[in-house]
Structure 1
Amino acid sequence: MTRALWQRALPRTLLARNIALLIALVMLSQVCSIGVLLHYVQRPRVERAAAVFATYVTTLDSLLAATPPAARAVLSARLDAREQLPPEADAAPRPSLMRAYRNYQRGVFLDSLRKHLPADMPARWQTEGAQRLWIRMHAPVGGAGGSSLADAAGHVSGHTSGDASSHASDHVSGRMPAAPYWIALPIPEDAQGSGLEAAILLSLGLGVLAALAGYAIQLHLNEPLRELTRAARRVSAGETPAPLPTDGPSEIAAVGSAFNQMTRALQEAEATRALMLAGISHDIRTPLTKLRLSMAMAMPQGGDSSFVIAAESYLDQIETILQQFMDYAGSGEREEAQAGDLNALIERLAGDFAGLGHAFELSLGTLPPIVYRPIGMMRLLMNLMQNAIVYGGSGLAVRTWATRDALTVAVGDRGKGLSAAELEKLKAPFQRGRNARAHSGGTGLGLSIVERIARLHGGSLQFHAREGGGLEVWVVLPVARA
């Protein structure tokens, strides 16, 4: 069950399968490359940047602690020092597929930074608005002079660095507060990773380019296969295709060479078969003719001719059987196709049968001229009409019609013999129906010959129940306009 589902999920054509496999391999290689780059190159780089940044932060914290209160207030104001963390800095980044790598690198940097900083110095990455890193510094040592840090920071908000210095110095009086405070620092470039996103996009672009190149290569490889398919169809239609080229890649050249060798072998076999059939026809018909003549000469004048009549009937059956074998073996493959009017051929055959006392009702639609083998098509129609006479007996009719892609010839009767399902089995050679027991001289090749000629013209043989009773045999031929 799983295998059947897997087979249905696969693309139907070799081109689509190869392209899908190529894309999967390219994407897998890109994912593996990016995984190796992130784990063995980028992650250690971000962790080193976090370690260096942690050293810088701890050094800055020590310097601020050792700085006189007045200078410390000025420096803290320049660093946007605040007693409370801003709300935008405490918000978690929104999940986004486009920012997945940045969020991953941000997490790596913060985790590594927290490992190198003291536990009482948390860090927050502000993603809303400006990209800044907030670090909570230790509480300053109490001392004389200076206003509160919050006042100094509040008065420098919205001013330049020079204004911040003057405002902070104006408010340095009293002693510094004992509470820890937060300062904002710029994010190191190694922690942002904007360059790697471009590398990922470039890798994806190269993957798409590789898939397109594979598609072009596969199209180039598929062209010889299409030529082979066309040549094989021509061979199956009884034609002789031109030899396939053998100057391409060695694998394709080997296939073309093998096909050309097979075509030559088929041509030789066809020539041998034609010679053998001609020999059989000559070698059997010659003694049959001599036998007829000998019986006529051996019969005394005025004698009972019933034996001669019976013998000639048996000889006629032998001739008929021999001709059916010849027809089945030949089926018109070597006959040249010509453009013609199928309705005119049907009318001529219906007139011939009418002369023998078998009238066919004709309902012929407008048919486009098609290319067919005249003798083979005549043999096909004669077999169908003869079968209708022998096994149907009444309600003989032939009708034709055309659609956009095909034309159909339907030969019908009102007999109550075999059903359409039973007739389908009689397409096989040497199969005779139960209603053929009362008819001698058959070989079970009639419908096989009809189907073979229909397939030779690219068509098919179908059986349908006739409206009002009886059976219709349809010959459906593709429209190949002259």
Structure 2
Amino acid sequence: MSARALRYLLPRSVLGRNIALLIVLVALSQVCALSVLVHYVQKPRVERAAAVFGAYIRTLDNALTASPEGERATLVARLDARSEPPAEAVSEPRVRLLAFYRTSQLVTFLETLHRYLPPGTEVRWQGEPHPRMWIRMHVAATPYWIGLQVPEEAQGGGMLTAVLLSIGLGLLAALTGFVLQAYLDRPLRELAQAARRVSAGETPPPLPVDGPTEIAQVSSAFNQMTQALQQAEATRALMLAGISHDIRTPLTKLRLAMAMANDTNGDEAFVGAAESYLDQIDIILQQFMDYAGSGEREAPQRGDLNALISQLAADFAGLGHEFDLQLGELPEHAFRPITMMRLVMNLMQNAVVYGQTGLAVRTWADARAIYVAVADRGKGLSAEELERLKAPFQRGKNAHGKTGGTGLGLAIVERIARLHGGTLAFHAREGGGLEVWAVLPIRLGAHAAGEPSVSGEPSAAQPAA
């Protein structure tokens, strides 16, 4: 069997593989034990029983042959002797699958018995319901068939009990192994779930460290890693907050100085350009802060996602950018309001800056997820370029000449989508242009709880673009 086929046959989980290995080992041990018992214990017993039974038959045959002819009728009646054996008596026992072991033991007994009987002695076997062995003997020199009970050793009755006991012990060992492995597997599942929660931006509670030594060491190391990540996150947030404060203080002073220069008949063109540069610096700084935060500490709340989108669309309309809204019915869903607003606003802002025309937002839901799609009619990009835009500091070819951006907009959206257990996907819009989908699982935290995240594939329930 090839290694590839073996991988398909073996269970995928450690629990399943250990149980399968335990069952195989128990089965092999039971087969070896029964083989030793049959060949070195039971078979010699059967052969000894056949030798004793053969000696008994020879003695009985000699006694009956030497008996007086006048007593023949009395002996025949007592021994239930017959001139012909019963019709169901056969020379060799019939092999039955369910009684294979008993039949094999009987065959061994009969083969050994023939070696201890006088030459030419005929033996017939009568099976259920009354097993008997019919042997041709001589009563007062006249041949008769006499039925004798077969020794228990030849029927293998005790071995059936031993086989059943071995099977029972094997099942008990497998069950015990399953319980022990399940006990060991539980902390591993908890560790996997905690790791998924950490990757989703959540902070899981510390794992218990009171189990087996090896697993307790892994859990303790994971707890230390989680604490280190929390400290690093806190340090990063503090550092960025300090940088933001330290940079914005001189920026504010610079704005004040420029305003004063404008009041004293300074160069208005220079002041206007400088204020524009300051606005760009402020926007870039805010994008850095947004990317660093991404809303991990914001608590989820149940709300109306369509209402949030409608409010943002109204705000953009006030700035002269009209979005066509196609908002489908959405189930009540828990999300982080400020963080989700940042996700949708970034997508709409990108559509305004890079698409400019055909602006639209549509929402719909199916049994698994909520979909938010922001579309425009801008120049399309290849799939490779679109995926590359998810990385920080990446900008598409249609961004050349645009100012005020850092390449963090879609990276922020990607992080927020993953924080909600979802994904970000790009789709070509029918009629030209681009559509960006934020796919959000119905249950917040499904990704962190170990369920598969929803892919960005189209849903049968989606409205037309």
286-295 vs 276-285, which deviates more? 286-295
Q: Paired residue for 1:99?
A: 99
Q: Does 1:66 align with 2:66?
A: yes
Question: Which residue matches 1:168?
Answer: none
- Structure 1 position 31 matched with structure 2 position 45: no
Cα deviation, 1:213-263, whole Å, max 9, x if unaligned, reads 333333333332333333333333333332222223323322322222222
**CA offset at residue 67 of structure 1?**
2.0
1:479 aligns with 2:458: no
* Counterpart mapping for 1:5-404 below 5 A: 5-72=5-72, 74-76=74-76, 78-82=78-82, 85-90=85-90, 92-137=92-137, 141=141, 176=142, 182-293=145-256, 302=265, 304-404=267-367
Cα gap change, 1:140/1:368 in structure 2, threshold over 3 Å: closer, same or farther? same
Corresponding position: 1:462 with 2:429? no
- Look up the equivalent residue of 1:451 and give its one-letter code: E
Superposition deviation, residue 50 in structure 1: 0.8
Match of 1:146 in 2: none
- Structure 1 stretches lacking a partner, 5+ long: 142-175
Kept in 2: contact 1:454–1:461 (CA 8 A): yes
Letter in 2 for 1:110: L
Is this contact kept in 1: 2:420–2:444, CA < 8 A? no
Q: Matches of 2:91 and 2:342 in 1, distance apart? A: 89
Contact 2:328 2:365 in 1 (8 A): yes
SS of 1:407 mapped into structure 2: strand
Aligned equivalents of 1:337 and 1:183: distance in 2?
A: 93
Q: CA deviation at 1:9?
A: 1.5
Asked whether the equivalents of residues 362 and 399 of structure 1 are also in contact (C-alpha less than 8 Å), the reply is: yes
Distance 1:394 1:363 in 2: 16
* Per-residue deviation, 1:72: 4.3
Kindly tell me: are residues 420 and 394 of structure 1, through their superposed partners in 2, closer, same or farther at Cα, counting changes over 3 Å?
farther
Partner SS state of residue 237, structure 2: helix
Aligned residues: percent identity? Answer: 67
* 1:121-176 CA-partner distances (Å, limit 9, x unpaired): 243332254211123447975xxxxxxxxxxxxxxxxxxxxxxxxxxxxxxxxxx4
CA apart distance, 1:462: 1.9
For 1:481 and 1:368, the matched residues in 2 are separated by: 12
CA distance in 2: counterparts of 1:419 and 1:268, whole angstroms: 40
Contact 2:425 2:438 in 1 (8 A): yes
Q: Say which is worse superposed, 75-84 or 355-364, in terms of deviation.
A: 75-84
- State the 1:39 CA deviation: 1.8
Deviation sequence 1:383-439 (CA, Å, 0-9, x none) = 111111222222211111222332211112223322455423322223322222232
Structure 1 residue matching 2:88: 3-state secondary structure: helix
In the alignment, does 2:406 pair up with 1:443? yes
RMSD: 2.8
Shift in alpha-carbon separation, 1:182–1:282, aligned structure 2, 3 A? same
* Rounded Cα–Cα distance in structure 1 between residues aligned with 2:57 and 2:303: 97
Give the distance between the partners of 1:100 and 1:471, measured in 2 at CA: 74
SS at match of 1:88: coil
Letter in 1 for 2:310: E
Greater shift in the superposed pair: 226-235 or 34-43: 226-235
Distance 2:401 2:79 in 1: 114
| 8 Å contact from structure 2 (residues 191, 219) kept in 1 | yes
Q: Aligned to 2:189, what secondary structure does the other structure show? A: helix
Runs of 4+ in 1 over 6 A off after TM superposition: none
TM-score relative to the length of structure 2? 0.86
Pair 1:423-2:386 in alignment: yes
Question: Residues 324 and 115 from structure 1, CA distance in 2 versus in 1: closer, same or farther, beyond 3 angstroms?
Answer: farther
* Distance verdict in 2 for CA 1:452–1:121, change over 3 Å: same
Matches of 1:345 and 1:93, distance apart in 2 = 87
In structure 1, the residue corresponding to 2:415 is in which secondary structure? helix
Contact preservation (8 Å) 2:324, 2:361: yes
Which amino acid in the other structure matches residue 391 of structure 1? Y
Residue 23 of structure 1 aligns with an amino acid whose one-letter code is: I
Query: Structure 2 regions of 5+ residues with no counterpart?
Result: 446-465
Cα distance in 2 for partners of 1:206, 1:242 equals 41
- Indicate the structure (1 or 2) with the bigger Cα radius of gyration: 1
Contact 1:237-1:333 at 8 Å conserved across structures:
no
Preserved CA contact (<8 Å) 1:368 1:481: no
Q: Is the 8 A contact 2:335 2:444 kept in 1?
A: no
Name the CA distance, whole Å, in 2 between partners of 1:473 and 1:389.
13
Q: Distance in 2 between matches of 1:84 and 1:372?
A: 94
CA distance in structure 1 between the partners assigned to 2:250 and 2:261 by the alignment: 16
After TM superposition, the structure 1 stretch with the greater mean CA deviation from structure 2, 244-253 or 356-365, is 244-253
Shift in Å at residue 16 of structure 1?
2.5
Summarize the Cα distance change of 1:465–1:79 in structure 2 as closer, same or farther, 3 Å threshold: farther
1:296, CA displacement in angstroms? Answer: 5.7
* Contact preservation (8 Å) 1:244, 1:256: yes
Scaled by the length of structure 1, what TM-score is found?
A: 0.83
Structure 1 letter corresponding to 2:97: L
Contact 1:399/1:409, CA 8 A, preserved across alignment? yes
Question: How far has the Cα of 1:453 moved from its partner?
Answer: 0.4
Distance (Å, rounded) in 2 between the aligned partners of 1:104 and 1:288:
100
